[in-house]
Structure 1
Amino acid sequence: MRVQKIIVEKKDYPLYLLLDDQYEVVEPVMRFIKYLDNTGKSPNTVKTYCYHLKLFYVFKEQRRISLECINFEELANFVGWLRNPTGNINVVEIQPKEAKREESTVNAILNAVVSFLEYLSRSGEFRTINIFKEVRGRNFKGFLHHINKGKTYKKNILKLRVKKKRLRTLEHSEVKAITNACHTLRDKLIIMLMYEGGLRIGEVLSLRLEDIVTWDNQINITPREESMNGAYIKLRKERVIHVSKELMALYTDYLVHEYCEELDHDYVLIVLKETYYGQPLKYQSVLDLIRRLNKRTGISFTPHMLRHTHATELIRNGWDVTYVQKRLGHAHVQTTLNTYVHLSDQDMKKEFKRYLEGREQK
């Protein structure tokens, strides 16, 4: 099984197909991919779904079962296989074995497979498999409890419980050390866009010259269908990011000293190496930059950690969570709440100290 990238006429972005061992197109997956594309899913989402479905088909081949034989029990076996793939042999584990994939990864793959099977069910090509059960609202009274009181919601029985992880953020001194370790204005600009703007890698790489409004210190996140570097805006939603004068000054210096005006495109971030000079920068180049900066500074961080740090700083400084949601480009405010509204031991210490100081003044 392999995932094949294809170029489609009249489309400015690639699509992906699943091929079997004889290099024949897997027809059900092809129709599902076309459905995802037609309903506005981003090219990166379509690519991810295709790779997830490849795992599902590898599992089916190892189990020697057809698509028609997939039932609830086999989906449960698939979840177990994702955590500990064993091929065609039966393995009896005496000692507990660490799972190959984390719970969140397994849930993402399962979600893609369930969406695929639901699509086939709606098309009349597959029977419905009920993996949901109705559950009444939780015991605690949350926001708008009076509206949702007594209502039920559907819960995926096969979904794994994800271990709650505390997001690691960077100290201001660490961010400064990282930017100081950058050898070019372009590299420093990339870091600051992710840190001060809270931008994702795809959003940074998608920036065009017309998106930067220097006189108003404003960056427009603008989804586009075409992409020369494979970078797209998640959710395909527009939003506006306001940044500092210092960041705009850095951007201007980059244009003056490192950017080439004689280009056949208007991407902001370009390759600076002589061989490929002027080409739009790609994902791998940013990942390589982060790896080099990790080595130079001794600070272990990821691109998304810069975004986490920005969001956490906003919340600690009193920003309303709905503003943070809009700035980060989350589809739902609950995502922002679940991800960023967390308290570290240091936060608790500061708040208790503030409480003691207020009590002494009374």
Structure 2
Amino acid sequence: MRDMLIVRILFETGIRASELLNLAISDFNIGKKSILVRVSKTRAGENRTVYVTSDTINLFQDYIIEFHSSQTNIDHVFFNLSGKNKGEQMSYWGLQALIKRLNRKAEVDFTAHMFRHTCATQLNDKGISAVSLKNLLGHAHIQTTLQMYVHPSDETIRKHWEQAISHESKE
């Protein structure tokens, strides 16, 4: 359940791994289906709101009920479930180890950061404005978002080309 929640949040929001690990329970707004990213490696990324689906909010609630019992005295959403550091905030290296295990299980090679690129590309393909995408990803400059994080597929490029040609032929 924890691993699924981690993947869903990374995939749907495009937040950085370090931002994920710093999420507190109080950062989740269940009614608005949003998450406040308070801690970021960039000033532009701090105190921004990202959004998740109802399914992810439901999974978050189930996870909190299951793993954040009254015996757990930690506000961080993600913490070590076993080992010598059980109950402590999950570290970056702990997340990397989890991703490595998921790679083996899924027989797919991916990193936590790839979810950021995938999220940016999918939102761009669905027509989100460049400014909104920049703000969701927590970038200071729109060029970073568009040049580094958006990777349009051949289908998207063709669709945009066809739209441009159809406008031209109508004139």
Structure-2 residue corresponding to 1:235? 42
Aligned pairs for 1:309-328 within 5 A:
309-328=118-137
- Indicate the SS of the match to 1:241: strand
Which one of the candidate residues 276, 279, 296 is aligned to 2:105? 296
Aligned pairs for 1:1-362 within 5 A:
185-223=1-39, 233-236=40-43, 237-273=46-82, 275-351=84-160
Q: Distance in 2 between matches of 1:199 and 1:205?
A: 10
- Give the gaps of 5 or more residues in structure 1: 1-184, 224-232
1:262 to partner: Cα distance: 2.3
1:357 to partner: Cα distance: 8.4
Deviation track 1:89-115 (CA, whole Å, cap 9, x = no partner) reads xxxxxxxxxxxxxxxxxxxxxxxxxxx
Change (3 A) 1:349 1:333: closer
> Root-mean-square deviation (CA), in Å?
2.4
Do the aligned residues in 2 keep the contact of 1:269 with 1:281 (CA within 8 Å)?
Answer: yes
Larger proportion of helix: 2
Change (3 A) 1:298 1:352: same
Structure-2 residue corresponding to 1:125? none
Change (3 A) 1:324 1:276: same
1:330 to partner: Cα distance: 0.4
Do the aligned residues in 2 keep the contact of 1:198 with 1:307 (CA within 8 Å)?
Answer: yes
Q: Percent identity?
A: 33
- Indicate the SS of the match to 2:42: helix
Do the aligned residues in 1 keep the contact of 2:16 with 2:116 (CA within 8 Å)?
Answer: yes
- Give the gaps of 5 or more residues in structure 2: none
Greater RCO (CA < 8 Å, at least 6 residues apart): 2
- Indicate the SS of the match to 1:265: coil
Q: Distance in 1 between matches of 2:78 and 2:41?
A: 18
Change (3 A) 1:273 1:309: same
Deviation track 1:195-252 (CA, whole Å, cap 9, x = no partner) reads 10111111000011111111221211113xxxxxxxxx21142111122111100100
Q: Distance in 1 between matches of 2:146 and 2:165?
A: 28
Deviation track 1:161-202 (CA, whole Å, cap 9, x = no partner) reads xxxxxxxxxxxxxxxxxxxxxxxx111111111110111111
Do the aligned residues in 2 keep the contact of 1:214 with 1:248 (CA within 8 Å)?
Answer: yes
- Indicate the SS of the match to 2:123: helix
- Indicate the SS of the match to 1:216: coil
1:340 to partner: Cα distance: 3.1
Q: Distance in 1 between matches of 2:167 and 2:138?
A: 37
- Indicate the SS of the match to 1:234: coil
Q: Distance in 2 between matches of 1:208 and 1:343?
A: 33
Do the aligned residues in 2 keep the contact of 1:259 with 1:270 (CA within 8 Å)?
Answer: no
Q: Distance in 1 between matches of 2:132 and 2:167?
A: 29
Question: What is the TM-score normalised by the length of structure 1?
Answer: 0.43
Q: Distance in 1 between matches of 2:150 and 2:83?
A: 45
Residues matched between the structures, number: 168
- Which one has the largest radius of gyration? 1
Q: Distance in 2 between matches of 1:274 and 1:342?
A: 39
Residue identity in the other structure for 2:36 = N
Deviation track 1:271-318 (CA, whole Å, cap 9, x = no partner) reads 111643321111111111111111111211111111110110111111
Do the aligned residues in 2 keep the contact of 1:189 with 1:251 (CA within 8 Å)?
Answer: yes
Residue identity in the other structure for 1:335 = T
- Indicate the SS of the match to 1:262: coil
- Indicate the SS of the match to 1:220: strand
